[in-house]
Chain A
């Protein structure tokens, strides 16, 4: 992990975070706990430990921070994964459909529909979904998560369903826009015309030539959206009272548990960089130009 972070821009990320955010919190700590080591030393010592997966213990509750994060991630990660799968599975077909029927759909309708999805605040979607499915129809729980954790997987999934849909709607609307514009881009390419000149209909040409070419920008957008997804998760956890990382973070901010906030933010940022790196690598592998050179 240490080596990986060294190789990535990620190491800079954490360094930057240290410069941006942590020195101030360390100053606070020094005042509260009377620590007087230089900030840099402090930072590097924390940084060094953090890289080994040791975030220290919470200054207020004495809990091991790394353990706590891993514990809470058991809710947050499945939520994010669930939401990403949902978002991709409706955004890409819809985006491509919209692109293929570009002229008929064009202008105001596509714009408004996808923009509406982006404009609606995540928490509001959550509230509306709760009203409909939890309050009126009572199909899903309105919030909370089974105390026993994933051993009761069915009820876990059930309590994640509404939050995941909430998260997926906003993300999906964004992805759909990108899927649509990426597809329109492919349709206007010369090679798309060549493909049709071989006797493919628009739909066939899109399936054979378009999907992969359009998917690359969409997936790279998804990589950039990891950050937004995490923010979304924080909000959704708060709406549905899910005991995840976001919920924990908000509580810690509330009670000024600086070391824990610092650890959580660092871990989250590292995760963001790690995932974007993975996506980068995947995309490079998909592209013959970067994969092999003559």
Chain B
């Protein structure tokens, strides 16, 4: 049975349809990339799975996770899943952390919600988690406020929060778009390792084809709220069926060729 099954999902803002009749499934341990341009509905889809849609949005259809229909749950029931069975990493590492709260306490939050740990025990766990996401001097880091950390460090904190309870599904929404390329490389490497260690499934949302194809096995190409193509990475590159996927791949290939023209020999 699939871990996650999305069927005929439609999301509307008022009369505007932003996600249109979306269906896909994700097995346990599978890594799915969702690629698309801005406004294609990829972020909204991931928020819908987490039950974090804005109040103004309405979702119909079905999202089944571990056999449970999520769309019928209320906020309280849904919160048992969030941060526990599924975790999410967001795009903006700066604004995604509470500026007035020490990061240790923010990492401890999911543990306190779902593991019934005391504040002290959860903070001790937070230090371990900092260590796991490769932050130096974790004892000091947990006492820092977000503004005292760099972008890469903040995104590692985001990852620590999302993975604190070893979720079955990790959703990463453009997790490296706001980062410098050198930092992006490190964070992607880390995410790759952690997801492999945890054995969790991954939904990786991005507009960047090279990044998505490096992180995932299957890719769903989204355009104006619809999945236009959903296949394995190699199939997509060998045999893109949709016009839009073809264009994406051609552009990415051309850009890479241009770059390689200069940078042959480096890797």
Contact = CB atoms under 8 A, between A and B. Distances in A.
B109 to A, nearest CB: 4
Nearest to B87: A197
Given A197-B82, A288-B147, A209 B161 contact: no
Interface stretch (B92-100, B181-189, B199-207, B228-236): B92-100
A289 B81 CA distance: 33
A213 interface: yes
Interface in B38-92: 50, 52, 55-56, 75-76, 79-84, 87-88, 90, 92
B244 interface: no
A189 B158 CA distance: 15
Contact of B83 (A199, A208, A289): A199
Nearest to B84: A199
A189 B148 contact: no
Interface residues of chain A: helix, strand, loop or mixed (majority): helix
Given A201-B75, A213-B100, A289-B99, A196 B82 contact: yes
Interface residues of A, number: 25
Nearest to B149: A294
Which of under 10, 10 to 19, 20 to 34, or 35 or more describes the interface residues of B?
35 or more
Interface in A90-104: 102-103
Contact of B100 (A190, A196, A288, A294): A288
B145 A190 contact: no
A194 B99 contact: no
Given A199-B110, A201-B75, A194 B97 contact: yes
A28 interface: no
A286 B145 CA distance: 13
Interface string A229-249: 000000000000000000000
A134 interface: no
B110 A190 contact: no
B255 interface: no
Contacts of B164: 198
B162 interface: yes
Interface string B231-250: 00000000000000000000
